[in-house]
Homo-oligomer: A and B are copies of this chain.
Amino acid sequence: MSNRLPPPQATIRRLSIYLRSLNSLYETGTRLVSSQELAEFLDLNPAQVRKDLAYFGEFGKRGVGYTISRLRDHLIEILGLTARRMVGIVGAGGRLGHALALYKGFEKRNFNVVALFDNDPLILNQDWGDAGPIRHISALPDVVRELNIEILILTVPAEAVKEVFDYILQSGVKAVLNFAPIKLTSNKVRIHNVDLAIELESLSYYLGGTSKPPDETV
């Protein structure tokens, strides 16, 4: 029986990680996986895995587990990863934008960077290969519609976010991946905020952060 509520965003994010775990298992020759084993990959409890997957239907057989190849195909379909997605980068002249414009990891996963935007007159119209030329921010709404861009990656500095965000809303784009150092929310476009410091914080734990239980209860 499938759960009728829309799946929460963190569940969707976990699907992507389940998918990678299934791919790794499949490469080692494994063909079946239990919710317990899948849970161990993400250090979750098995009930959480079953709950996450139950949003999308009944995938496993009690006592048998999941057939890896079929669960993998379902996750690819659920995540919409069979379609090629057109992506634009806003703030492509900045270092992070430039790095992401050339990041090889996106195309391998069916995300094509097809347009680059910036407002720096010194780089406008420069041709940066497949995704060039650099276009002015004001062209964003037209270009998004022309090229069927579904995701914009935002890498502008904090002070430029407001102006740029107006163009983004005008464009009618469906989704924004925000690397700008300001948390954005909107009810008109789906936004995921990326915080690179989280990655450093969890490493910090292993550097001699005290892990002993506290002396008192709170």
Contact = CB atoms under 8 A, between A and B. Distances in A.
A163 B201 CA distance: 27
A199 to B, nearest CB: 5
Contacts of A197: 105-106, 108-109, 111
A83 B209 CA distance: 8
A102 B179 CA distance: 13
A17 interface: yes
Nearest to A153: B200
Contacts of A20: 195, 198
Interface in A58-79: 58-61, 66-67, 70-71, 74, 77-79
A214 interface: yes
A128 to B, nearest CB: 11
A136 interface: no
Interface stretch (A44-52, A114-122, A138-146): A44-52
B58 A210 contact: no
A47 B46 CA distance: 12
Residue of A7, A45, A87, A211 ringed by the most chain B CB atoms within 10 A? A211
A204 interface: yes
A150 interface: yes
Interface of A: 2, 7-13, 15-17, 19-20, 42-45, 47-48, 51, 56-61, 66-67, 70-71, 74, 77-81, 83, 85, 87, 94-96, 98-100, 102-106, 108-109, 111, 150-151, 174-175, 177, 181, 190, 192, 194-211, 213-214, 217-218
